[in-house]
Chain A
Amino acid sequence: MLVRTRVGEYLVREDLYYTDTDEWVRVSGDEAVVGITDYAQKKLKYIVSVELSSAGREVRRGEVIATLESVKAIADVYSPLDGLLLEVNEALVTSPDMLNKDPYGAGWIAKLRVTGSLPKLMSPEEYADYIRKREGSG
């Protein structure tokens, strides 16, 4: 099964959901893992520092759960859903480059327990179109 697709230089995984603020979400049961997309990390370029929310906190959809600082910009990462922050990826504090090297894997940002109903998220196809739209290529 094809699990990844390319939009130009950007990788979109087919087994994930996406947000319009460039987070990805993997939902299994009542747990969700969140990170930033390959598109987001490539736009930010070299990420040098990561500030994380504390685990154990209730967060609402759209709330900031991490702040990334790259050579290009400072970017907030938003929770894609209502939930309880079970765990944040502390390894990113000392190795923020994992966000660049493996955004869909070792660069995950937070694990949440979903407490509300799942919001509408983008499918991989929708997210790929969303990238294309912003890149002005259709």
Chain B
Amino acid sequence: MREVPLVELHRRYGGSLGEFGGWLTSFDFGDPVAEHLAVRNAVAFFDVSHMGRFVVRGRRVFEFLQKVFAKDLSKVKEGYMSGPALLLNEAAGMIDDVMLYRVKEDLWYAVVNAPRISRDFEWLSTWRGRLGFSDVEIEDVTSSTTLIAIQGPKSLEVLEGLGVKEAGSLRILQFVEDVEVLGGRVTLVSRSGWTGEEVRSHGFEIWAPVELGWRIFEKLVELGVRPAGLIARDTLRLEAGYLLSGVDFDESTNPVEARYWMAFDLDKRGYVGYEKLEERYREGVDRVRVGLRFKKGVRLVPRRGDPILVGGREVGYVTSGTYSMYLERAAAMGYVSSRYAYLGGTAYVSCRGRLYEAKIVEPPFI
């Protein structure tokens, strides 16, 4: 198991450590409910350095990325992030959703999901060879850098507290490079996150060398910003309806079933997995991902694999669920047979042998 570079600070500030995606990191800092609510109502920060960070460079880097990612990257302007972009296998199964940063013509960055770091790196390297992009370099900088996400409606004040003057003018998914923070230089500051910022608030992420990340972490604590862990991060992303790689999709799922529209484009052609994806889209899919909104006051954590019933018949299964203290109800995502994907209709979810009523909805839940 690898440790996040700032694990000593996690220990010092009360992080309750556990394993996620091969990394030792904090599940909470004492009170996941307060951490979640801090993001919704004020501000909190996450050390998300367990996520993989790659630097991709070379004269033909754009052409290479266009061939391996299912999203049309020509729509991404310089100084902006792509939003989630899918890496597909040849059968159109989803390897991972990756955040890409267009830095300059010959330089892109990528942030990938922790459990998929080596799979993504190998996949990109394989296709770099297969497609003849030997001039494109891919470097894994995960261990030498940190990524800190400051999330919540008061994030901007915190960024100002860190002396990032540019923060206020950043638009969603825009970033600035090589910014001075606490007397050092960070790789970039972006207006982004994964807690529902597009829906609710406006978060920022700071990508920095380890030593500077350390000082930023300590400064945030000093500024009174609450550190938050993976539990709050998971409940926040679920409320926001974001899919979790390896949980809500994997290589046996295609993006049409997952209805992960924002992460791929069908009007772009010629990328890895395109043919099968187009075929799936044209022929229709047997199952689709839906949201399940339980009744107010239902205290429950729907678990992966819990059966979903419509009209008394088992038609699907839960992939992830949570109890949202913010919404005071349980919420889940899962796949149901497309014949029974009655949006707005009623389903029952069988949790521990008991049936709970839920509405079939389109996420987000907030």
Contacts and interface: CB of A to CB of B under 8 A. Distances in A.
Interface of A: 9, 42, 45-46, 48-49, 69-71, 74, 96-97, 100-101
Contacts of B325: 48
A74 B323 CA distance: 13
A45 B299 contact: no
A69 B301 contact: yes
Given A42-B16, A46-B32, A71 B299 contact: no
Contact of A45 (B28, B300, B322, B323): B28
A71 B16 contact: no
Residues of B in contact with A, size category: 10 to 19
A9 B14 CA distance: 8
A48 B352 CA distance: 15
Given A9-B16, A71-B231, A71-B235, A49 B299 contact: yes
7 contacts: A45-B32, A49-B323, A71-B32, A71-B235, A74-B352, A96-B299, A101-B31
A74 B28 CA distance: 18
B27 interface: yes
Given A9-B16, A71-B322, A97-B33, A46 B300 contact: no
Given A71-B322, A97-B33, A45 B231 contact: yes
A40 to B, nearest CB: 13
Most buried by B among A42, A69, A70, A101: A69
Contact of B301 (A9, A70, A97): A70
Interface string B65-104: 0000000000000000000000000000000000000000
Interface in B24-60: 27-28, 31-33
Contact of B33 (A9, A46, A49, A74): A46
Contacts of A74: 352
A69 B33 CA distance: 15
A107 to B, nearest CB: 14
Given A9-B16, A71-B32, A46 B231 contact: yes
Contacts of B16: 9, 42, 45
Interface string B226-240: 000001001100000
Nearest to B32: A46
Contact of A48 (B14, B27, B234, B300): B300
A114 B28 CA distance: 38
A97 B37 CA distance: 14
A105 B262 CA distance: 48
A135 to B, nearest CB: 11
Contacts of B33: 46, 97
A130 B6 CA distance: 29
B352 A71 contact: no
Contacts of B27: 45
Contacts of A101: 31
A70 B31 CA distance: 13
Most buried by A among B33, B322, B323, B325: B323
Given A9-B16, A71-B322, A97-B33, A46 B299 contact: no
A46 B352 contact: no
Nearest to A100: B31
A97 B16 CA distance: 17
B237 to A, nearest CB: 13
Interface string B342-366: 0000000000100000000000000
Interface string B292-315: 000000011100000000000000
Interface string B158-196: 000000000000000000000000000000000000000
A49 B231 CA distance: 16
A49 B28 CA distance: 19
A48 to B, nearest CB: 4
Contacts of A69: 299-301
Contacts of B352: 74
Interface string B322-335: 11010000000000
Nearest to A74: B352
Contacts of B300: 48-49, 69
Given A71-B322, A97-B33, A48 B301 contact: yes
Interface in B232-290: 234-235
A46 B323 CA distance: 10
Nearest to B27: A45
A96 B323 CA distance: 12
Nearest to B35: A46
Contacts of A9: 14, 16
